[in-house]
Amino acid sequence: MGRNTWVAVFVGVLIVVGAVWLSTSQRQKQQTTQPAQTQVAPTESSATQEAETGEQAKEISVEGSEFKFTPNTLSVKKGEKIKLAFKNAGSFPHNVTVNELNVSTNTIGGGETDSVEFTADKTGTFEMYCSVGNHRQRGMVGKVSVE
C-alpha cells in the first residue's frame, strides 16, 4: 500500500475513535445529569400528592391487651394530624378512648385492628383508656401528652 493509503486509513481510524469518544462522553453527560433529574422528580410528585390528599397523618401504633396499652404514653404535637392504629393483642374486646381529644376507636376483638385519625386542638396530658366493662378500673389506661 502507498503512503496516501496509510494516511487515509489513519484519518479513518481517527474519525472512528473520535466518534466513539464523542458518543461515550455524551452518554456520560446524560448519566451524570439523570440523578439530578430523578432527585427533583420525587419532590414534585410528593408535593403533588400532598396537595391532592392533604397533610399526611403521622401514624402511631398502640397495642391493647388485658389490661394495658403498649406503649402506654403517647406524645403528639398540637395541630399535627395523627393516625392512631390500634391493635388488640389480647383476647378480650378492647378499644382506645380519649375523651378530651374526641378519640375513640371501635371496640375490636382479639387480633383485630382499627384506626382513627385525629388532630389534637389543645395542649395538655390526657388519659386514654379502654371503655369496655371495667377495663379502665383494672388498669387499661395510658397518657396522651400534647405539646
In the complex with Cu ion, which residue's Cβ is closer, 60 or 139? 139
Each residue 75-94 as x (binds Cu ion by CB under 5 A) or -, in order, gives: -------------------x
Question: Rounded to the nearest whole angstrom, what is the least distance from the CB of residue 138 to Cu ion in the complex?
Answer: 8
Each residue 98-137 as x (binds Cu ion by CB under 5 A) or -, in order, gives: --------------------------------x-x--x--
What Cα–Cα distance (Å) separates residue 81 from each residue in 29, 57, 77? 43, 5, 9
16: region left, alpha or beta (phi > 0 left; psi from -120 to 50 alpha):
alpha
The count of residues interacting with Cu ion (CB under 5 A) is 5
Residues sharing a CB contact under 8 Å with residue 145, sequence separation 6 or more, in sequence order:
73, 74, 75, 76, 124, 125, 126
Each residue 37-76 as x (binds Cu ion by CB under 5 A) or -, in order, gives: ----------------------------------------
Sign of the CA dihedral with 5 first, then 7, 13, and 15 last:
negative
Binding site for Cu ion (CB under 5 A): 94, 130, 132, 135, 140
